[in-house]
Structures are given as C-alpha cells and as structure tokens.
A and B are shown apart, each in its own frame.
Chain A
C-alpha cells in the first residue's frame, strides 16, 4: 500500500466526468508530477485528497485512511489560489499554523521569510500577489509532512519566482515524504521529478518514472507532453 492510493476513483459534476476510474499508488520518498492540460482533472484529484470534494464513486486512502482530520494532519496542501486570511499579519499566520499543525517548523518558516525580506508585521492584505504566494508556499513547505500536495505552485509567477519556488520545494521537503506537484508547465519542473502522471480528460494516460519515460520515448517529458497533447 502506498502513502496515497486511489481506487476506481470517479468524480462527476452532473453529466460531466472530471475524473474517470483513476487508480494510482504513490509511494513515499518521491517527487511526482501530476501533468496534464488545463481542465484535465488535476485540481479535482488534489481536492478529493483533501476532502474538499466528495468522490462520486471509488475511494482515496492516505496512509491507509480516508480523507479526514487524521489525513489532513499528514498532508501539507498548497491550493491553486490565494487562501490567506486578510485580517492576519505574518506573525499571526505563523501562530495559526503552529496552533493547528504539530509538524509545523516555525523556525524554518521564519528563516525563509527573512531570506526574502518579508516583514512579519506587515498585514497580509497589504502584500503584493507575488509576496502572498511566496508566504503561502513557505507555510506549506515549513511543515514536516508525510505528503505535500502542491496545486499549480508555479503558474502565474515570473521565471525568477519559479526558480525560487522550485528551490524552496527541493530544499525543504522531507526525503521520506511524497510530493505531488500538479502543473502544465512541464519544462520548469521536469528536472526535479522522479515520477510523472499524465492525465487527460479525467483519465490517467501514463504513470511511470521519468527516466523510464525518457528512455522509452526518446523524448523529454515536455516534448512527450507537447506531442501527445497537441491540438490539431
């Protein structure tokens, strides 16, 4: 059994099928790319893992348990949107994470914040969009979690910020943890991935190690993606 298992997982929105009979077994100690075009079901899969959506059929198990308070204590989640509470400043946000997550390493967060020159007393509502994204990423990566679910962490940020985000992920995740990075910007993340899941229209097209995919196809992941998912 993996740290994250999907068994015949299906999610429908009315007549539309967002995920169709997905079966996956993700094991610890890997960085896995969840790769696919927009609307392929990447965010739906991650939200199901966090119990923010309920499956239509099938199940998800994290560390052998269905999503709930226990699994949420193991999973560090970075959503694809701004979720910070505007009334807080960074210090209050640090207290918030310390209060709710036993695995939160406040020292690590403070170091990362100071390396970026972020004023801890500045209200979050006064920060730029880019700074808020970095604060959100720092909070997520400052947990010593078993599973990291990062939904589009590099979408919509400039190339310099992308480098910072990827460096932060690589240098802060626990080697025993599983990191799932959802993105359609494959060239940017390819170098850090151990395994890749290619997903299209809610179905898993391919799940393999990155080395194996490159060896079999003779293509980089980005080239494979562009060839497989190109529009006529």
Chain B
C-alpha cells in the first residue's frame, strides 16, 4: 500500500510543482540569453532593439523572485497537501482507505523530501544554466564542468566532510518536514482554529528543540571524540565530530517529530 499512497501523492503534487520548476529553468535560460546578448560577449549584440533590454530587466526580476518563489511555493503546496489530506475534506477520502496511519505518514514524508530536494536541484540547475550561458564563448562543455570540479577540489575539503555535510543537509531536510507534520498533528488537537494551533505548535516545538539541541550539541562538542567515528576507527577531527553531531541530532529530531505526528494522527485525530 505504501507504493500506491506514494504514487498518488506524487501525482497530486507534480501537476503544480513540475511546471513551476520547468518555468524556472526556462526563465534562467531566457535571462541568460538576453543578458549575454546585451553584454555583448560575442559582438552580435550591437544595435539590438530596446525591447531586448526591457526583456532582460523583466527576466532578471522573474529569475531572482522565481528562485525564492520555487522554495516558498514548494513549501506551501506540501503543507497544504498534508493539512487537507488529514484535516480537510480530502481526509474523508484518504483516511477511509484501508491503509495504516504509518503508511500515510511515511509516503507523505518521502514525497515531501523528494520534492524539497527537487526544488533545490532546480535552483542549482537554474544557476548552472546561467553560468553556462555566460561562459558559452568557451564552447567547451566538458571543460566547463572540469573547471567547476577543479574549483571544488581547490577548496581541499576532505571527502568524509563532504559526505557528512551532504548527510547533514539531507537529515535536516527530513527533520524539517517531520517538524511541520508534527506541528500540524498537534494543531489537530485544537477543537477549533487548528491552523493557528499548528503555527503555535511549530513555534513551541521549535523553541523546545533548539534549547535541547544546544545542550546536546554542547555535550557532543565537549567530548574528545565522536563515538560512532571512534568505533569505526576514524581518527579524531573536530570538523568530523561537529558534522557527525549535526547528522545525529537532525536524525534524532526527525525520529522524535515523526513518532509524535504518528501517535497523534493514529490515536487522537478527530476529523471535523
């Protein structure tokens, strides 16, 4: 049943988000092209009509607001979907399905996680399109990517740090989603004004966690070595310890919020 719930959640969201991401990349492409024409990299831009300048201004506004809008709209769509699936009219269809609460929650968490990643990939891709067009005079795509890789290598970040950084990002994304879902679940315990209840729950749980996070982080930082790395035989490094602690704390946060959301939605949800 997990696969089926996941399939329909992806379908429900993709009709809004995919065109949005596609439009974002298209705007980046057009913005890059008009900018490269007006800045006259290749000398073909001389004597261009004023309409190209106007188009560039409009596209630059669209591009920079679009970058923010992609994230904001993804965030709003995913929250709205979850809220209506559990607390709105759609709940009467979704919660009547022969599916456990855990499957409902897990499928929606995975959906939100993938779309959040995709919105990040879209932002990176849009920037990459711009950079690529600006460096088009090189006319060497392989060389362009080789330069990027060389630039990253020149930072001399150890591979384990890169992996830990990536894991910390992914774990924070998961815990952020679970935080939102737990807040909506807590908000559902209000007899009325559930949306306000959810916002207050988000602020309250965020405050509690950040306090707890401070204590836990301090405890982990003060230790001479990060236990999982010590067990794995990785030599001590402050950088590894801090990044490892970030991953661990984000995962703990994810698990706690997920369990809270699951318990409330399974045991205490009363649909209006």
Interface of A toward B, CB cutoff 8 Å:
13-14, 47, 50-54, 68-70, 72-73, 75, 77, 79, 81-85, 87, 92, 96, 99-101
Q: Which of B98, B191, B268 contacts A100 (CB 8 A)?
A: B98
B99 touches A50 (CB 8 A): no
Main secondary structure of the interface of A (DSSP, over half): loop
Least CB distance from B107 to A in Å reads: 13
Residues in B with CB closer than 8 Å to A72 are 96-99
Chain A residues in 8 Å Cβ range of B98: 69-70, 72-73, 100-101
In whole angstroms, what is the CA distance A53 to B100 when docked? 15
The interface of chain B, by Cβ under 8 A from chain A, is 1, 4, 7-8, 11-12, 15, 89-93, 95-100, 191, 267-271
Q: Which residue of B lies closest to A73 (CB)?
A: B98
CB closest chain-A residue, reference B103:
A69
**Contact A69 B8, beta carbon cutoff 8 Å:** no
A70 vs B176: C-alpha distance in the bound complex, in angstroms?
A: 32
A73 to B96 alpha-carbon distance, docked (Å) = 9
With A and B bound together, what is the CA distance between A69 and B94 in angstroms?
A: 12
In the assembly, what is the distance between CA of A75 and CA of B166, in Å?
A: 46
Interface residues of B, dominant DSSP? loop
B98 to chain A minimum Cβ distance, whole angstroms, is 4
Given the complex, which residues of A lie within 8 Å of B270, measured CB to CB? Answer: 52-54
Assess A83 versus B191: contact at CB under 8 Å? Given A53-B270, A100-B99: no
Contacts of A82 in B (CB 8 A): 89
Tell me how far the C-beta of A128 lies from the nearest C-beta in chain B, rounded to whole angstroms: 17
B100 to chain A, nearest CB (A): 6
Q: A14 near B191 (CB under 8 angstroms)?
A: yes
- Contact in complex: A87, B15 (CB < 8 Å): yes
* A residues less than 8 Å from B12 (CB atoms): 85, 87
**Closest A-B pairs by Cβ, 10 of them:** A73-B98, A83-B92, A72-B98, A52-B271, A79-B92, A83-B93, A69-B98, A53-B270, A99-B4, A77-B96
Contacts of B95 in A (CB 8 A): 50-52
Q: How far is the CA of A70 from the CA of B1 in the complex (A)?
A: 13
Q: How distant is A103 from chain B, measured CB to nearest CB, in Å? A: 10
Q: Nearest Cβ distance between residue A56 and chain B, in whole angstroms?
A: 10
New A-B contacts (11) at CB < 8 Å, excluding given A14-B191, A52-B91, A53-B271: A52-B269, A53-B270, A54-B269, A79-B92, A82-B89, A83-B92, A84-B93, A85-B93, A92-B11, A100-B1, A100-B4
A83 & B271 in contact (Cβ 8 Å cutoff): no
Q: When the two chains form their complex, are residues A13 and B4 in contact, meaning their CB atoms are under 8 A apart?
A: no
Q: Choose one: B7, B92, B268; the contact of A54 (CB below 8 Å).
A: B268
Contacts of B1 in A (CB 8 A): 100
- Nearest CB in chain B to that of A70: its residue: B98
Closest to A71 in B: B98
Q: List 16 A-B contacts (CB under 8 A).
A: A50-B95, A52-B269, A53-B270, A54-B267, A54-B269, A72-B99, A75-B96, A77-B96, A79-B92, A82-B89, A83-B93, A87-B11, A87-B12, A99-B4, A99-B7, A100-B98
A153 to chain B, nearest CB (A): 14
Looking at the assembled complex, report how far the CB atom of B197 sits from the nearest CB atom of chain A, in whole angstroms. 15
CA distance A14 to B92 in the complex (A): 23
Alpha-carbon separation in the docked complex, A96 to B268 (Å) = 27
A13, A14, A79 pick with most chain B CB within 10 angstroms: A79
Question: In the bound complex, what is the Cα–Cα distance between A14 and B190 (angstroms)?
Answer: 11
- B5 nearest in chain A by CB position: A100
With both beta carbons as reference points, the residue of chain B lying nearest to A95 in the complex is identified as B8
Is the CB–CB distance between B100 and A69 below 8 Å? yes
In-complex Cβ contact of A83 among B4, B7, B8, B89 (8 A): B89
Report the separation of the CA atoms of residues A51 and B40 in the bound assembly, to the nearest whole angstrom: 66
Q: Given the complex, which residues of B lie within 8 Å of A13, measured CB to CB?
A: 191
